[in-house]
Structure 1
Amino acid sequence: MLLALLIAGKLLMKPGGDRPNKEEKITGKQHFWRDKKVKNGYRLQQNLLDDHARILDKDNIRKATGSMSAMEDKFERLASDSFLKPGDVIGVSRKWYDHYGVYIGEGRVIHYADKTKDFGKNVSIYETDLEGFTQGCKDYFVLHFPKAGGPPRKLRSSTDFTENPREGTGIFDFIFKAKYQLFSPEETIKRAKSRLGERSYNLTRNNCEHFALWCKTGVSFSRQVDMALSI
């Protein structure tokens, strides 16, 4: 019983994916850290004691920290010309919920929403620009799908943040049951475009998250709905 409680406590306390990070200069000897990748001034480092990883820039400023799988993905994005890649499932955290869409390249997004806001009388699947999707929010996220499977994780575009709103961790990971495959970026975009004009929005069964995840995985699911119903 004690062992089970300790394991459960560890799972509840350990956030997955892209963990909250405060940019700060790393100084002194770092005995348990080793460079794994170096690219365009960024270094991906792995902790020798666990699966923890971090990203440092050319000035030794910590830009991100989290699981190795998530940090490998974020490292490639930070070290490239654009954080976003065509075929990404992207999202933005509003005050009470996350809004999702599919990035199709050249600053364009396909999502399930009203023409002027996320909700309204004329909700449909349509194409808009990134600014229209984020509605002025500078910090957005991309979903990272771990190599080992399991629930997707948020990769925040920001490199300095104190919390990761509505990131499913701990006990909610046990609730996640979806089994999925990942479509290529080209197929993901094709699937998104195939549903342009659809007007069958349903908050609990066919919302923006259901749509975006279906485009990428073939499975229509929403962790926001699952967590709310579980609570």
Structure 2
Amino acid sequence: MPLASGSPPKPGDLIEFIRPLYQHWGIYVGDGYVVHLTDQEGWSSLSSALGGTAIVRKDLLENVADGCNYRVNNKYDLKVQPYPPEKVVQAAMELVGQTLPYSVTSSNCEHFVTAMRYGDRFSDQVDNASIYAAVGGGALAATIAFVYAFMRNKRQNQ
């Protein structure tokens, strides 16, 4: 069972799902649901990197967590004034079911949720990945691919 840390989510909050070696992001829209940019299976946006597109889905928070820890993380609130929660939820819900362009560096799941909450795209993961790439990106990429394949296979065999 996933563990939530911190305060319970409120509509419009950013939810950070702690995956092996990366984070997945969603927007809490109420009643136990999140809207997130993901692959067709709804677990991660990582596999979308290969196809260049991802789908916006509304899924139960517990299903998206899929056994991983998660937390409310409105980390940019001190730098940028967030939109009112109703506007964040409405913007996210209007995109459910749409296929959008996906790019690890400019249109990933964190960019998606920050655009809904703040009106601008931010991703610390991109900044951090740039640092790791300079240090040993090939090994990191191989490790991420292995972990993703392992977790996906594990899910399919449950």
TM-score (norm 1): 0.48
Matches of 1:193 and 1:220, distance apart in 2:
18
Structure 1 residues 146 and 195: alpha-carbon distance in aligned structure 2, compared to 1, 3 A threshold: closer
Q: How far apart, CA to CA, are the structure 2 residues paired with 1:211 and 1:191?
A: 11
For 1:192, the equivalent position in structure 2 comes to: 92
Structure 1: stretches of 5+ with no match in the other structure: 1-63, 65-73, 78-82, 151-179
Q: Which has the larger radius of gyration?
A: 1
Give the whole-Å Cα distance in 1 for the aligned partners of 2:81 and 2:91: 14
Q: 1:209 aligns with which of 98, 110, 119?
A: 110
How far apart, CA to CA, are the structure 1 residues paired with 2:57 and 2:104?
Answer: 17
Task: Tell me by how many angstroms 1:210 deviates.
Answer: 0.2
Deviations 1:27-86 (A, max 9, x none): xxxxxxxxxxxxxxxxxxxxxxxxxxxxxxxxxxxxx9xxxxxxxxx5xx3xxxxx1111
Match of 1:168 in 2: none
Q: TM-score, normalised by structure 2?
A: 0.68
Partner of residue 14 from structure 2, selected from 86, 89, 94: 89
RMSD: 2.1
Give the drift of 1:206.
0.3
Give 3-state SS (helix, strand or coil) of 1:112's partner: strand
Distance 1:145 1:202 in 2: 22
> Unaligned stretches of 5+ in structure 2?
133-158
| 1:202 Cα offset (Å) | 1.2
Q: Which is richer in helix?
A: 2
Alpha-carbon distance in structure 2 between the residues aligned to 1:109 and 1:198 = 17
Give the 3-state SS of the residue equivalent to 2:101 in structure 1.
coil
CA gap of 1:115–1:132, structure 2 versus 1, over 3 A, is farther
- Displacement after TM superposition at 1:229 (Å): 1.9
